[in-house]
């Protein structure tokens, strides 16, 4: 009977090894994607650029891999150029009337690990691109944390409230 009770208590303990938000957060912190750090914009920017081995600069260099900058048209309108080669700009593909179109272009360049020239490093489209990449990676790392916890013997709580 005593042996049965010890085995039963151990089984109950093992079955209570549930994945919690706290355990997930500990894993996320170990990856650099904890909740506290997610509110520090400079930290998030550095984290994303490091993850993709990309670099942003506002110093014009002819050897950058990608360029995003503002230009003026002959009649005084502002347009945005996003291109690989400043000596071969395609009006149809590289010229943007709205800066909101640049977030996706910047995300692609960051994911490619490019050195990217941006004429103003404090533009909203940069923050948007960094935030979207952060959210994408945080979701991936969240799933990885759960997978690792399951590999360690933890179980997801499947109880339904109500």
Contacts 24+ apart (CB under 8 A), 135-142: 137/33, 137/48, 137/51, 138/28, 138/33, 138/38, 141/27, 141/28, 141/31, 141/33, 142/24, 142/28, 142/33
Write the pLDDT tens digit of every residue in 10-46. Answer: 544 555 688 888 988 998 999 988 888 888 899 999 9
> Residue 154's pLDDT is what?
87
Write the pLDDT tens digit of every residue in 93-109. Answer: 999 999 888 999 999 99
Write the pLDDT tens digit of every residue in 38-90. Answer: 888 999 999 999 999 999 999 999 999 999 999 999 999 999 999 999 999 99
Write the pLDDT tens digit of every residue in 120-154. Answer: 999 999 999 999 999 999 999 999 999 998 898 88
> Residue 9's pLDDT is what?
53
> Residue 7's pLDDT is what?
52
What is d(CA 58, CA 64) in angstroms, rounded to the nearest whole number?
11
Q: What is the pTM of this model?
A: 0.81
Sheet containing 95-96, strands listed edge to edge, beginning at the edge strand earlier in sequence: 55-57, 115-118, 66-72, 78-83, 95-96
């Amino acid at each position: 009977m005593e042996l049965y009770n010890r085995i039963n208590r151990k089984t109950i303990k093992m079955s209570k090894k549930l994945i919690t938000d706290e355990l997930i957060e500990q894993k996320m912190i170990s990856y650099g994607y904890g909740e506290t750090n997610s509110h520090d914009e400079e930290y998030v920017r550095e984290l994303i650029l490091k993850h993709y081995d990309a670099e942003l600069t506002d110093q014009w260099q002819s050897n950058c891999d990608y360029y995003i900058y503002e230009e003026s048209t002959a009649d005084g309108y502002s347009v945005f150029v996003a291109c690989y080669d400043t000596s071969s700009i395609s009006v149809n593909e590289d010229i943007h009337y709205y800066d909101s179109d640049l977030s996706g272009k910047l995300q692609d360049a960051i994911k490619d690990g490019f050195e990217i020239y941006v004429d103003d490093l404090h533009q909203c489209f940069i923050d948007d691109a960094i935030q979207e990449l952060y959210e994408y990676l945080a979701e991936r790392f969240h799933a990885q944390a759960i997978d690792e916890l399951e590999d360690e013997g933890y179980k997801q709580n499947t109880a339904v409230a109500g």
